[in-house]
Structure formats: structure tokens, C-alpha cells
Structure 1
Amino acid sequence: MLPFLLALFATSVSATAFQDCGSVAADVVLDIEGCDLPPCILPRGETLDVAMQFVASRDTDVLTIDASGIIGGVEVPWPGIDTNGCLYTTCPISQGQSVDWLMPVPILDEYPALSVMVKFSLVDSANELQVCALLAAIIV
């Protein structure tokens, strides 16, 4: 019983709190390197790992990354991110499969220092949001 509790504690410690914005996958966990509770600090000039774990709701041959920042109510695409989500996991994915996904995200020096809501989604071949996460961040 103790190993199970330790594993559960270790999992919960590394997760980042987020608002789900329409995920159809089950058991979604988000982990932004260095951030447990938003607002997440995103230092310019660094690359942070973004990890997601989820149980797929359908078979899909592709995952498309849709990342954006919401600034003053306006959604702006996150520049410089390759949209091929299969580069960061193994595709195809089967319904019910547990998926581990990890992507390095550069925070470019050119980004302005500001507070932003970050929206990050993985879209499947049926154009459904397998995962959709929304969280507050501060680019410094």
C-alpha cells in the first residue's frame, strides 16, 4: 500500500493545475516544467518541457498542436511551435490507449514580458480536442 501512495503523491506533485477547456480524452494530466500552480513563470530565452498524459477517446492517426495566448481577450497563435503533435509521441493512437506526450517549448527572447492566458490543445484526426488546457502564465 505504501508504494502505491508514494507513486500517487509523486504524480500529483509533478502535475500543473489547469482549467480544462473541452478535452474529450480521460484522465488528463498536464505538467509544465517548474510550475505546479499558475500563474506559470515563462522565462524568455529558456526552453520548458510541456508534458501531457491522457487516455485517448478515439483512434487517431494524427495529433495537431494548437497553441495560443489570450491577451486582453484576443486569442493569438503561439509563434514558433511545430503543429505536428506526433513528433512528441507515437502515432497512430488507439481508443483507450494511455498516451505520454512531451514537447520542449522555447520561450523566445522576442516575446514581450506580459501576463497571458495560455491555451494548449492536441486535436485528433476527427478534429476533436483530445486535450485542451487553459492556464495563466507570466512571460518574464
Structure 2
Amino acid sequence: MRLSAAVFAPVEPARQRGKLVPLLLVLPVLGMASRSSAIALPAFVAAYAGDTLWTAMLYVTLLFAWPGLSVSRAVGLAVGISFLVELSQLYQAPWIDAVRAHRLGALVLGRGFLGSDFVCYTVGGLLAGGVDGLLAWRRSVE
């Protein structure tokens, strides 16, 4: 089976949820660590890794919820939801600003609109989908 067929297949074989749990635990930690000043990261990585990992985590969350979701649909949903969350940051109202003022609200909804985040979300979705597609391809040739 060619790699492109595995990546763009309409429905991937169901993933095992138990194997996704460690990713659901590690990706948020890595994302928050990338924003921490306690870790010396190159400025480029510190600026963009968190948003990239946020979409990768959303991708894994979607697979956990729907293990049979195709790679292309999971990428599209993860990137689309990320875009919508970013666009929601253009909306300013007291109630949503109060939600964003809390740490969890800020982690989920963000704090301020940045156009560069769209690139990070796209890269995060494509990287997660690419790894998932490679793993599916590997399973198919074994």
C-alpha cells in the first residue's frame, strides 16, 4: 500500500484508545512547558510550539472520541475547530473575557487574536495527521 493511500483513506482502522491516553497527558504538558520561562527554548520554538501542540492535542482528542475517524477528517476537524477558537478571540464581551481571565479558560479559548496562530494550527494538524498516517501505513505493511 502506498503512503498516500494510507494517509487519505476514507476510514482508518479503529485506533486503540488506551494508546492515545499517554498522548492526551503528554501533549498539554509539553504545550504549557513550551510557554514556561523555566525551560530555555529557542525563541521561535517558544513562540509557536504551544499553538502547534494545541491542535495536535485536539487531533488526538478527536481520535479518542471517534477512533474510526479518517486522518483527513480528523485533521480537518482539528484545524477547523482551532481556527474557530482563534476567530472567537475577536469577540470581546464581559462574560467571555471573564472566562478567558481564568487559567483554564485561557488555555481552551486563548487570550488574544494572532494571525500567525493559523499557521501553527495548520502545521500542528498536518504533523499529527502525518504521524497517524505513517502509523496506519506501517500497520498495513506488517
Decide: shared fold, TM above 0.5: no
- Larger helix proportion of the pair: 2
- Greater radius of gyration (CA): 2
Q: TM-score under structure 1 normalisation?
A: 0.30
Q: TM-score under structure 2 normalisation?
A: 0.30
- Larger strand proportion of the pair: 1
